[in-house]
Structure 1
Amino acid sequence: MAQEPTIHSQFEPNTGTWQYIVADPSTSKAVIIDPVLDYDSATQVISTSTADSLLVGIEEKNYSISYILETHAHADHLTAASYLASRISQKQGFRPSIGIGKHITQVQQLFGSRFQIPAEEYEGVFDKLWEDGETFKVGSLTATAMHLPGHTPDHLGYKIGDNVFCGDSLFHADIGTARCDFPNGSAQSLYHSVQKLLSLPNHVRIWTGHDYPNANRTEPVPWLTVRDHRTRNKHVNDDVTEEQFLALRQERDATLRQPKLLNPSLQVNIRAGRLPRKTESGMRMLHLPLKVDGEEW
């Protein structure tokens, strides 16, 4: 029987984000998945307390970090990938590679142009662009990249043992699935990505990228099994057809507001978490698009 990883899940409540440290117990090699950089939109202050708590856990377990993995360019929180890579390299003597799906390049080009970010600030910032089905080692464990488009075109999952870290493809069964109304998102693509996940054996654990507890469930839950989703997921259980899913997903997406941190998140995340270069005045700047209600003057 293949060895299973040791998984440490850490919930960031302000953005509802699950972060993961996934380790090979036989070698103490590990990866970090979807780490959060703290950002206060009221004061424009970026801080690292959440990322630093990951570092504490890594040091306590004496893990050696091989990769920092992103499931996609997030629109609801800033990534701590570059910060962690810098800090970890000082500690372990080599820099962990930052990896993401190869389709990140189209996301970078789209939002780089929209926010007028110089190409040299986002080109080549990721060390590894994974192909669908590409494998890599985490110590003695084999990890497999799974392209899961729909929420975003670059969206990727990572299968390690009998676990898939699915990012924003599947949420808790009482929430369903992720929105598909971002540029180049697709409800049809998400449906087929979900079927790819749900075709795995029933015991496989699907670890989600977010959770939003409600009155009926006060604690966040990091994973459900394939069987749980096939029997209970409100959007994609076995009784829901593709046509029904497309209708409910599109109806739901039409009512959703823009994520609060969309603009700062995308500008930082297409840079792999690197900060914008300083201006001539010595300041680091992010663009904030304005919307005028009514006629302009």
Structure 2
Amino acid sequence: MSKLDERVVRHSPSRGAGSPDVWGIYEPDTGSIQYICADPATKKAALIDVAWNFDPKHYRFSTGSMDQVLDLVRENGLTVEWVLDTHPHADHVMASAHLKERTGAPNAIGEKVRDIAAIWSDIYHLPHTFDPDRDFDRLFAEGEVFKIGELDVTVMLSPGHTLGSITYVCGDAAFTHDTLMQPDVGTSRADFPGGDASQLWETIQAILALPGDTRLFVGHDYGAPDRDEPEWEATVAEHKAHNAHVKDGTRREDWIERREARDETLPLPDRILAALQVNLRGGRLPEAESDGRHYLKLPVDRF
């Protein structure tokens, strides 16, 4: 059986002073990687890009992935200090609001989520509905620094996949979301509203300018022709030497042409129109209507 169908967990241990412990938790339904980033000294931790499971065939939600992440937190004696997302995900529903309620930790995302919310308010024709300042405790700016325990975390604005994506850099670990894929796959798409391939190129170059031994933790993996188990960690040096799209020597113009041609062939993710109107509420469903049920709105003929 392919491990791409399993909930795989791997621990990437701290390398010493200033280096975090990282656990990656693979979510097979969407190929998403969820992360726990922890300070070994204080056992304080951040949860990054955790999913609230959504079945698009039956429009039902379940909590298996976030339950698994919280079980790992308990098993390793950690205390959750932050609930973080790198961007409003198109292919899975964020667990942010639920994790905030269950852990008491503040939730955060990049400040340009306000601009993403404005784009999608128009697409859904839901004016004055999305309010990131209401639904997130912190909206991080480019270059902002905060702490997980005693470890500094620097926020890098990383547009291209979305206009407001951010990367979290904690010591020798960087959580690069939907920019890079694993080296044997390449890079991520840039064709969603607000996305831009030329910006994604610049973002990737900034990430690859980090020290060569920096561990890069990607947002997704779907396997590869010669690999049927998920992977999500590689160093900057490994990407520069082997990344199928952007290894050393790649020309910007060639990459942009290749990326845009590839993106034109890709369908919308099957969860995007449900996920974004939840994620732009910080992982909350719309308010229940008079019958006590929640409803999602789907735009027709917009894509």
Cross-structure match for 1:213: 223
**Distance in 2, Cα, partners of 1:204 & 1:214:** 23
User: TM-score if structure 2 supplies the norm length?
Assistant: 0.91
Q: Distance in 1 between matches of 2:58 and 2:114?
A: 31
The equivalent residue for 1:109 is 118
Alignment-mate amino acid for residue 22 of structure 1? C
Instruction: Tell me the SS of whatever aligns to 1:194.
Output: helix
Query: 2 CA distance for matches of 1:194 and 1:180?
Result: 12
Partner of 1:295: none
Q: Is the 8 Å Cα contact of residues 27 and 65 (structure 2) preserved in structure 1?
A: yes
Q: Which residue of 2 aligns with 1:132?
A: 142
Aligned AA (1:119): H
Structure 2's unaligned 5+ residue stretches are 1-15
Deviates further, 109-118 or 150-159: 109-118
Indicate which of 277, 280, 284 corresponds to 2:294.
284
Structure-1 residue corresponding to 2:53: 38
> What is the CA distance between 1:266 and its match in structure 2?
0.5
1:122 lines up with 2:131 in the alignment: yes
Change (3 A) 1:120 1:186: closer
The two structures have a TM-score, normalised by structure 1, of 0.93
Deviations 1:63-110 (A, max 9, x none): 11111111101000000111111111xxxxxx2111111100011122
1:152 and 2:162 correspond: yes
169, 172, 177: which one pairs with 2:182?
172
Does the aligned pair in 1 maintain the 2:114–2:131 contact within 8 Å? no
2:277 corresponds in structure 1 to 267
1:153-197 CA distance string (max 9 Å, x none): 010000011110000011011221111111121111010100001
Select 2:106's aligned residue among 97, 115, 126. Answer: 97
Q: What's the CA shift for 1:2?
A: 3.4
| Paired residues of 2:117 and 2:130 also in contact (CA < 8 A) | no
Query: Does residue 1:204 correspond to 2:219, yes or no?
Result: no
Q: 2:131 & 2:205 partners in 1: Cα distance? A: 32
Q: Which residue of 1 aligns with 2:29?
A: 14
Cα offset for 1:152? 0.4
* Amino acid paired to 1:174: D
Give the match's secondary structure for 1:281: coil
Maintained 8 Å contact 1:68/1:97: yes
Query: Is the CA contact 1:121–1:276 (under 8 Å) kept in the aligned structure 2?
Result: no
Looking at structure 2, the residues matched to 80 and 163 of structure 1 have their Cα atoms a distance apart, in angstroms, of 22
State yes or no: 1:49 paired with 2:64: yes
In the TM superposition, what whole-angstrom CA distance separates every residue of 1:112-144 from its partner, at most 9, and x where no partner exists? 232244635534211111111110011110001
The answer on whether the counterparts of 2:184 and 2:224 sit within 8 Å (CA) in structure 1 is no
Aligned length: 286
| Counterpart Cα distance in 2 of 1:122 and 1:266 | 13
1:50 and 1:118 mapped to 2: Cα distance?
A: 32
Q: Distance in 1 between matches of 2:24 and 2:262?
A: 29
Task: Provide the secondary structure at the position in 2 that maps to 1:58.
Answer: helix
Q: Aligned with 2:135: secondary structure?
A: coil
1:277 Cα deviation (Å)?
Answer: 0.4
Compute the RMSD of aligned alpha carbons: 1.4
Task: Find 2:99's aligned residue among 84, 105, 109.
Answer: 84
* Amino acid in structure 2 at the alignment position of 1:100: I
2:123–2:299 CA contact under 8 A, matched in 1? no
Structure 1 unmatched ranges of 5 or more: 89-94, 293-297
* Runs ≥4 residues deviating over 2 A: 116-123, 288-292
Decide which of 74, 78, 87 is 1:72's aligned counterpart.
87
